[in-house]
Chains A and B, each alone.
Chain A
Amino acid sequence: MNRLRHAVVRWESGLVLLIILVMVLGQWADGDLLSSFNLQTTALNSVVLLCLALGLAPVIMTSDIDLSVVGTLALVGVVIGDLTAHGTNTWLAIGIGLAISLVCGLINGLLVVLFDLPALAVTLGTMGAYTGVSFLILKGLAISTFPSVIVSMGSSNVTGTQIPFAVVLLIVFAAILSFILHGTVFGKSVFAIGGSRKAALFSGIAVNRVRITTFVISGLMAGIAGLLFLGNYQTAQAGMGASELLPAVTAVILGGVSAYGGTGTIPGVVLAAALLALLQSALGLHNFSGEGQTMAIGFLLIIAIGLPPLSQKYKDWKRRRSASPVTVANAVLSSSEEGK
């Protein structure tokens, strides 16, 4: 029990350390980083990213992947923006948008799970399809006026405080998702499927149902991300949010979710998203262009994925150096056996 907690904590505490590091360095280099205004802006800017990442996490944990989240984001954002611009009741428009996001997720789930098609290929295709539909709807136009409800959802603070409403909303979502993934049977099933789909099936877990549900969740979160995007950036354009895919995936992997599934935590993803947002903010204050920040994220992703295997290789190398030839030979032989 303790060892379990210990292992989990190790990755998260690494993230916390990094956050503190960035804070300290950033604040020292440019005093504005930790100002309440900047923190607010940073937090708001990270909302869309975190929303996508929270939805992506369960999918990746079951060792699937969903590239279409940015497509769903764009589609839902465009639909809601278009509807409200034409006078539809705001809440109705939001309802329709979220319903669409569920459908998008469901389509992914059905194709991948029931038709047994590779998730990578399918969601690559649906990403294009959903983004494409957003183009079909809005074509080259951009919408810039939105109902105040949506704007305040995306930009304003909770009354009387300095904390953006959207951030609170995301924290609530993260808490709910964390409970689902770490505290329910469904969540345990997600990890089991990611660890070994066949063993989960043989143990009586409703594998298909769980997998489809994770796709629906990622679709829904992507739709919510689209809604928050509207409120935050106050613009709706076809293909919006496309650049958020990489940061979202990075946040998930950086948060400790293995690219191959079976491990990871929601708090980790939240911390990783926070780290990314802080980093982007710090770089931005240093006049790094938006694209320079994206590059930095790319490098972070590489480090996040590359670190575990590299550190394993290092550990193996150390062990081999200090071990006698016999132990080494046996180790090599037995590891080659396991690989079969």
Chain B
Amino acid sequence: MSTVSSLTPAPASALKRVFGSGFFKRSDTSLLVLIVVVTAVAAATLGDFRTISNFSNLLNTVALIAIVAIGEAVTIIARQIDLSVGAILGICAYLVGETTHHISGPLGPVVGVAMSLALGGVLGLGNALLIDALKMPAIIATLATLSIYTGVQIFVNNGSQLYLTQVPKWLSGLRGATWFGISTFIWVAVICMLVVGFILRRTRFGRDVYALGSNPEAAIYLGVKVRLRTYQLFALCGAMAGLGGLLYVSQFGNVDATAGSGMNLTVIAAAVVGGVSLFGGSGNAYNAVLGALLLGEIQNILELTRISVFAEQTLQGVAIVVAVAVYAVVSRRLRRPVRREAMAVATMGAATPLAGATSEGGSHE
């Protein structure tokens, strides 16, 4: 049923070997096609679009969002959500920028990356703690941590901001640097996509994330360690947000107390539009990347055609609603168990420890 996308044979089979066949789904291929079409049309009709500077700016922005969206996707697949990623990013941006300022030599980048991942991970664990220990629904827990972390962010900034001059050269230069002709940001994004994609696809942890999102009761029944996985997945999401923070410093130079605010909706929209279902259980890292790419492009086009610089939130909001609606309609059509001529699906009388094991979407969350 699943088709490998229409890549050239060699990369396709390599991907197949690493990720297992069944990696690409038909809907993802159509999204990719859509992106290609949009890019082609825009490049053909908009002079401003096809400039190198626009392109590189666009890709850098997209890369940054994609990285955080990859982490967010992990939580969404598990039927959770993380509204605090923007604040995590902001905290990490400032602190990592500040700290690496004092570290010279090749140790700098190492510490920078390690610290951003670790700090982000720890902040993510805070989310998991609330959800696990206090049994809070993720939406409210991360709403609370959003405010708390924002407060921490402001506290840490201490009324000032991080200036470009305080940022170590290797970091500020990252934005313009290229490896083999491709911007470093894109490399980082692609690496994250591959690594997280691999984790989701090839580790027990990753498979448990899907199980939890697809049918939480069956997952518990079959012995998935829910608590451990909750901590792990929010830590991963936080780590990605932290890494995004590192890149944020490079991208914008100045880091003030508002860094990362407003990113939450963008990141969720990117994941959802890219194909990660808000009902949980499906999607992968590349969906987040595709979504970030598509949304980023549309946003760019809107800006260039002066339709409005300010359409961003509207776009993201509408995109989420449409994506959810489309998914609900399509999945309802697909998920109906096959009806037989004479028989119905019976439930009473038999010993069913799992009532409602077939997921019917989460309209009551």
On chain B, which size bracket covers the interface? Answer: 35 or more
Task: Given A115-B325, A128-B265, A246-B146, verify A121-B151 contact (CB < 8 Å).
Answer: no
Q: How many angstroms between the C-alpha atoms of A324 and B111 in the bound complex?
A: 56
A214 part of interface (Cβ distance < 8 Å) = no
Interface size grouping (class) on chain A: 35 or more
Task: Give the chain B neighbours of A239 by CB distance below 8 A.
Answer: 313
B103 at the A interface (CB under 8 A): no
CB-contact partner of A120 in B265, B314, B365, under 8 A: B365
Central interface residue in B150, B152, B313, B314, by most chain A CB within 10 Å: B313
A253 within 8 A of B: yes
- B295-323, CB under 8 A of A: which get 1 and which 0? 00000000000001111111111111110
Q: B324, A125: Cβ atoms under 8 Å?
A: yes
Q: Are A125 and B317 in contact (CB under 8 A)?
A: yes
Interface residue from A71, A125, A139 paired with B320 (Cβ < 8 Å)? A125
Known: A125-B318, A132-B312. A117 touches B324 (CB 8 A): yes
Instruction: Name the contact of A340 in the complex, choosing from B130, B315, B353 (C-beta under 8 A).
Output: B353
Q: How far is the CA of A310 from the CA of B320 in the complex (A)?
A: 35
Which of the 9-residue segments A27-35, A37-45, A150-158, A296-304 touches chain B? Answer: A296-304
A289 at the interface (CB under 8 A from B): yes
Measured between C-beta atoms, what is the minimum distance from B216 to chain A in Å?
13
Q: Which of B320, B363, B365 contacts A128 (CB 8 A)?
A: B320
A227 CB within 8 Å of chain B: no
Complex-state Cα separation, A297 to B355, whole angstroms: 38
- Contact indicator B265/A298 (Cβ below 8 Å): no
Q: Which residues of chain B are near A310, meaning CB under 8 Å?
A: 134
- Which residues of chain A are near B314, meaning CB under 8 Å? 128-129, 131-133, 135-136
Majority secondary structure, A binding face: helix
B109-158 interface (Cβ within 8 A of A): 130, 133-137, 139-141, 143-148, 150-155
Given known A-B contacts A124-B265, A306-B134, A306-B136, A118 and B312 have beta carbons under 8 A apart: no
Interface membership of chain A positions 98-132, coded 1 if the CB is closer than 8 angstroms to chain B and 0 otherwise? 00000000000001100111111110111111111
Binary A-proximity of B319-342 (CB < 8 A = 1, otherwise 0): 111101100100000000000000
**Separation of A126 and B310 alpha carbons in the complex (Å):** 16
Residues of A contacting B153 in the complex (Cβ-Cβ under 8 angstroms): 291
Q: A129-B313, A136-B308, A340-B353 are in contact. Are A118 and B144 (CB under 8 A)?
A: no
Chain A residue with Cβ nearest B309: A139
Max chain B Cβ within 10 angstroms of own Cβ: one of A63, A136, A140, A245: A136
A306 to B141: give the CA distance in the assembly, Å. Answer: 10
Closest residue of chain B to A250 (Cβ to Cβ) is: B144
Residues on the B chain within 8 Å of A128, using CB: 265, 269, 313-314, 316-318, 320
Q: Which of B271-288 contact A (CB under 8 A)?
A: 272, 278-279
A228 interfacial by beta-carbon distance below 8 Å: no
Q: Are B353 and A309 in contact (CB under 8 A)?
A: no
Nearest chain B residue, comparing its CB with the CB of A302? B144
Contact call A65/B139, Cβ cutoff below 8 A: yes
Tell me the smallest distance from the CB of B327 to a CB of chain A, in Å. 9
Contact for A118 among B140, B308, B313, B324, CB less than 8 A: B324
Q: Which residue of B lies closest to A137 (CB)?
A: B310
Closest residue on chain B to residue A108 by CB atoms: B321
A269 CB, nearest partner CB in chain B, Å: 16
Could you tell me if A302 and B134 are in contact, using CB atoms closer than 8 angstroms? yes
Binary B-proximity of A259-286 (CB < 8 A = 1, otherwise 0): 1100000000000000000000000000
Establish whether residues A115 and B328, one from each chain, have CB atoms under 8 Å apart when the complex forms: yes
| With A131-B313, A301-B143, A305-B140: A118-B361 Cβ-Cβ less than 8 Å | yes
- B364: contacting residue among A63, A132, A299, CB under 8 A: A63
Q: How far is the CA of A260 from the CA of B137 in the complex (A)?
A: 9
Chain B residues whose C-beta falls within 8 Å of the C-beta of A140 in the assembled complex: 310
Q: B315 near A118 (CB under 8 angstroms)?
A: no
A126 touches B317 (CB 8 A): yes
Assuming A132-B310, A132-B312, is B148 touching A295 (CB within 8 A)? yes
B249 on the interface (CB 8 Å rule)? Answer: no
Is A94 in the interface zone, CB < 8 Å from B? no
Q: Which listed residue (B148, B272, B311) contacts A136, Cβ 8 A?
A: B311
Judged by a CB distance under 8 angstroms, whether B362 is at the interface is: yes
B350 to chain A, nearest CB (A): 13
Q: Are A125 and B321 in contact (CB under 8 A)?
A: yes
In the bound complex, how far is the Cα of B363 from the Cα of A133, in angstroms?
26
Are A259's CB and B365's CB within 8 A? no
CA distance A260 to B135 in the complex (A): 12
- What are 18 sample pairs from A and B whose C-beta atoms fall under 8 A apart? A111-B325, A117-B321, A117-B363, A125-B317, A125-B318, A129-B317, A131-B314, A135-B311, A250-B144, A260-B137, A295-B147, A295-B151, A297-B147, A298-B151, A301-B140, A302-B134, A302-B144, A306-B130
Binding site for A on B (CB under 8 A): 81, 130, 133-137, 139-141, 143-148, 150-155, 257, 265, 268-269, 272, 278-279, 308-322, 324-325, 328, 353, 355, 361-365
Q: Which 5 A-B pairs give the minimum distances between C-beta atoms?
A: A128-B317, A132-B314, A295-B151, A129-B317, A132-B313
